[in-house]
Structure 1
Amino acid sequence: MQAFFASIEHFLYIDWTKRIENKSKNSIDKSKGDETVKQHSKKTRKYMAVATVCGALLFGLVTSSPINTYVTQLKVGVTPVQGQITIEEPFKEKIEQWQKEREEAPQDAYLDPVWKAIPGYNGRVIDVNATIAQMKKTGKQDESSIVYKEQMPKVQVEQLGAHPIYRGNPKKEAVCFMINVAWGNEYLDKILATLDRHKVKTTFFLDGSWVKRNPELAKKIYDRGHEIGNHAYSHPDMSKLGEARIRQEISKTQDIISKTIGLKPSLFAPPSGSFNQRVVEIAHQDYQMKTILWTADTIDWKNPPVGTMVERIRKKLDKGVLILMHPTDSSSKGLDQMLTLAEKKGLKPTTVSEVISSRRLP
């Protein structure tokens, strides 16, 4: 770029010098030759100075930030026009079509009269520059080249206050087979093996007294990569407890889990699903915990026939659903079928925290 402007300056200098010399030859009087030549030499130096200043100004203009931005955007097929970004051909038509068809607005968290707190769901917009770069890299102009950016909702579920959560957002293609553990040790190994086979990480809500009796089993669950939640300490009816006892049940379980695996859960599942607003508020305000219930129940504690249980869940499997389980004979035998059903429906079995997050699945 510097060489380019140096060439322009040199050209202007030569051109103006020749013009002045020609003019000088025609106008110089032989009798006043020396004086006239001196005067025109001064003019030549003035033109040279003007040319130098003009060249410097032009160089500064072209190397300025806005011009550099313009040149950079031209390289990826995007041009700024009066403060806006317009897409250059041949990408314009394709990307504008994708923007209409594929972009989605974020959905705020909200309160539902039946399902209470419903988490929000991130929107998505096309990252134009990254998408064009991908198309140039692959030579393809199909949907596999689209690069998205997520847009978070203005209202997240945490901003709704103290409310129970029964499900994820109805648009989220994920489910959780969450497992409440206070008994059933003999079925845990089979359940863990099935989860491993499907490469699924889920959420286990652990009873505090169970953790105290079975620290090695609690560690095994955690070490396999599963999420750990709080299921109170002694499996009480939380709706019938006073504030002090509610805090005791939650605190003792937080402490024993922290001592055993090194972390304190952020999710609380009241035993038997029994709670009141006081329980939800104490969990939320005192422990920054979300109170988790369920959308669908295996009713596995009654040990139903595996086929009956699987069919019950099949009818309710949908986006954002939380399925309640326990370590029982029925669930240990039917989990493989239920996970397979979810996967065939295009639903990702995962943790409670992932299901109720506003994040889109990759």
Structure 2
Amino acid sequence: MKIIILKGKHLIFSAGCVLLIMLGFIFIWNNNISVLQYALLREPIRNGDPSLSKAAITCNVDWGNEVIPEILEVLEDKNIKITFFVTGRWASKYPELLQEIYDRGHEIGNHGYSHKAHSKMNEKENYLEIKKAEEAIEKVLGIKLKYFAPPSGDYGEATLEAAEKLGYQTILWSIDTIDWKEGSTADVILSRVMKKPHHGAILLMHPKSETAKALPILIDKIREEGIQLGTVSNLLE
């Protein structure tokens, strides 16, 4: 068996080569992780950790202001805070109601300015639509928002890029009440919600009168499972 003994400069050179190769692998590995992490951050969030006894309730608002006071009273009575995603045009039209929602301790998110189909817009159009809503909401509340919910859950890659550039995480849902649909009575809404898994869930609703009727029962039933209900931030902490 032939043994090669490296001495002096040869040993230093060989060690340097090994070190460079190792550094190269580390760079490639870290770079791949960064790309993966970036891709994951760009994906919309549909739910939290299903192993935790937590769930979030979101309410998308572009109409239904006449029902919101009733919903707020239910939430107050049940001692729960949720996330309201509001459009910019609604915020501009009903600033006092938006302020009341916020003053009651609820989280506010961006729902675009005029409830457009974001998947049909390019990146610049998406950016302007989200930014315009941000400015309208900030004008009323003076706060920086961190979550964006595309209207109707409609989005494209350009939407995610625009939202990310503006510092938003895009939020969708895992449970849809479909309360806007004709025939969605309180009982139908409850049935839809209770059929779904609730651990780590993001539940979507709208300010509809039947939703307001179903809400207190819905909250009680989910809490009976030992699940803590709250905002999107509560869920994702």
**TM tier relative to shorter chain:** 0.7 to 0.9
Bigger relative contact order, structure 1 or 2 (CA pairs below 8 A, ≥6 apart): 2
- The equivalent of 2:142 in structure 1 is 262
Separation in 2, partners of 1:317, 1:188:
26
Check the 8 A contact 2:87/2:114 in 1, yes or no.
yes
Mark the runs of 5 or more structure 1 residues left unpaired by the alignment. Answer: 1-156, 358-362
Q: 2:43 aligns with which of 150, 156, 163?
A: 163
Separation in 2, partners of 1:158, 1:210:
32
Check the 8 A contact 2:60/2:86 in 1, yes or no.
yes
The alpha carbon displacement at 1:345 in A equals 0.6
TM-score by length of 2: 0.82
Give the counterpart letter for 2:169 in structure 1.
K
Give the counterpart letter for 1:306 in structure 2.
A
Mark the runs of 5 or more structure 2 residues left unpaired by the alignment. Answer: 1-36
Matched, 1:180 2:60: yes
Q: 1:209 aligns with which of 85, 89, 96?
A: 89
Flag as ranges the 4+ runs of structure 1 deviating above 2 A: 157-161
| Percent of pairs with identical residues | 40
Check the 8 A contact 1:255/1:264 in 2, yes or no.
no
The alpha carbon displacement at 1:161 in A equals 2.8
The alpha carbon displacement at 1:317 in A equals 4.0
- The equivalent of 2:132 in structure 1 is 252
Give the 3-state SS of the residue equivalent to 1:299 in structure 2. Answer: coil
The 1:288/1:198 distance shift into structure 2, 3 A limit, reads same
Within a 5 Å distance, the mapping from 1:300-319 to structure 2 comes to 300-303=179-182, 304-319=184-199
The Cα offsets for residues 73-131 of structure 1, whole Å up to 9 and x where unpaired, read as xxxxxxxxxxxxxxxxxxxxxxxxxxxxxxxxxxxxxxxxxxxxxxxxxxxxxxxxxxx
Within a 5 Å distance, the mapping from 1:30-69 to structure 2 comes to none
Separation in 2, partners of 1:183, 1:158:
35
Give the counterpart letter for 2:227 in structure 1.
L
The alpha carbon displacement at 1:197 in A equals 0.7
TM-score by length of 1: 0.54
The alpha carbon displacement at 1:233 in A equals 0.2
Give the counterpart letter for 2:175 in structure 1.
A
Give the 3-state SS of the residue equivalent to 2:59 in structure 1. Answer: strand
- The equivalent of 1:198 in structure 2 is 78
Q: 2:112 aligns with which of 216, 226, 232?
A: 232
Check the 8 A contact 1:215/1:260 in 2, yes or no.
yes
Give the counterpart letter for 2:186 in structure 1.
V
The alpha carbon displacement at 1:160 in A equals 3.1
CA RMSD of aligned residues (A): 1.3
The alpha carbon displacement at 1:158 in A equals 7.5
The Cα offsets for residues 271-322 of structure 1, whole Å up to 9 and x where unpaired, read as 00000122112211x1111000000100100151211110110111421000
